[in-house]
Amino acid sequence: MSITVINLSKNYGSQVAVNNISFTAQAGSVLGFLGPNGAGKSTTMRMLTGYLPQAGGKASVCGFDIETQSLEARKNMGYLPENNPLYPEMYVKEFLDFVANIHQIKNKKQRIDEVITLTGLQTEQHKKISQLSKGYKQRVGLAQAIIHNPAVLILDEPTSGLDPNQLIEIRSLIKELGKTKTVILSTHIMQEVEAICDRVIIINKGNIVADDLLVDLISKHGEKTLEPVFVKLTKAQNR
C-alpha cells in the first residue's frame, strides 16, 4: 500500500476537524476525496504531507511513517496545496530549478524541460509567475509537484479556476499520472470525479461516510450519477 491511514484525527481547540479516519490507497489509481466545505479534506491532506502534525493515529506514505520518517515520506510525494501558493517574483524556470535543487534531481535541466512539456508551459516558461494567468499558475503548481517523479501525488483542488479547455488537459494529465502513481485529489466537481477517479472517499464533518469504487458506489445507491449520492450522504449527516 502506498498510502495507509489508521485512525488519523485532528482537532482545532475543541472543534474536531478529522475524526479517526482510516483508509488506504495503492499505486495505479486515482482516489477522489470529496466532501462539503470544512469537512476536513484539506486538513487530512496537510497531515499526510507533514505540514500539520496529527493529533492522533498513524499514517504512512510509501512505507514511511509521516511522523517519525517525515523527510523520507516527503521525498516520495508531490503536493499541490489548496489555492496554489507560489512565489510571484520568481521566474517559472527559476522556481522549478529551486524545487529541483531541493529534491537533488540529477539531469536537472532535462527534467525541468520534461515537466514544462508535460504541463504545457512551453509558451510561458520564460515569464515571471506573477505575469501568468490563473490556469498557467495552476500548471506551475502541478509541475513543481511532479518534478521529482514522486510515487504519491496529493492534489488539493487541482482544477479550480481553469477554463474548460485547460480542465480537459489537466484532467487527462492527472489520469495519465494515475496509471503509475497513487493520486489523491480533492474536488467539488462531481463530473470531474466521474471523469478521472477510480475510487471515491466521501468525508463529512471529519468522518468517512463512503469509501468505495466509483461504479459500485453509484450502483449501490441505485443512482446513475455521483451527485445525488453525494447529496444523500452528506445531507443525512447534517440532520
Partner 1 sequence: MYKKELYGYLSSLVAYITIVIFLVVLGLFLWVFPDTSILEYGYAGLDSLFSTAPYLFMFLIPALTMRTLAEEKKEGTFEILATKPLTDGQIILGKYLSALTIVLFALLPTLVYYYSIYNLGVSKGNIDTGAVIGSYIGLFLLGGVFTAIGIFTSSVTKNQIIAFAIAVFLCFFAFSGFESASKILSLQKFDDVLLNIGINQHYQSISRGVLDTRDLVYFLSVIAVFLLLTKLILGGRKW
The residues of the shown chain that bind partner 1, judged by CB under 8 A, are: 46, 49-53, 71-72, 74-75, 77, 79, 81, 83, 85-90, 94, 98-99, 101-103, 144
Closest distance to partner 1 from the beta carbon of 141 (Å): 9
Closest distance to partner 1 from the beta carbon of 176 (Å): 23
Side-chain half-sphere exposure of 14, counting CA atoms within 13 A = 0
Closest distance to partner 1 from the beta carbon of 139 (Å): 15
Closest distance to partner 1 from the beta carbon of 85 (Å): 3
Side-chain half-sphere exposure of 144, counting CA atoms within 13 A = 25
Beta carbon nearer to partner 1, 37 or 238: 37
Report the relative pairing of strands 56-61 and 3-12 from DSSP bridges.
antiparallel
Q: Is residue 177 helix, strand or coil?
A: helix
Side-chain half-sphere exposure of 100, counting CA atoms within 13 A = 20
Query: How many residues are given for the chain?
Result: 239
Closest distance to partner 1 from the beta carbon of 174 (Å): 19
Report the relative pairing of strands 152-156 and 182-186 from DSSP bridges.
parallel
At 24, the amino acid letter reads T
Show the CA angle centred on residue 10, arms to residues 148 and 79, nearest 5°.
15
Q: Is residue 239 helix, strand or coil?
A: coil
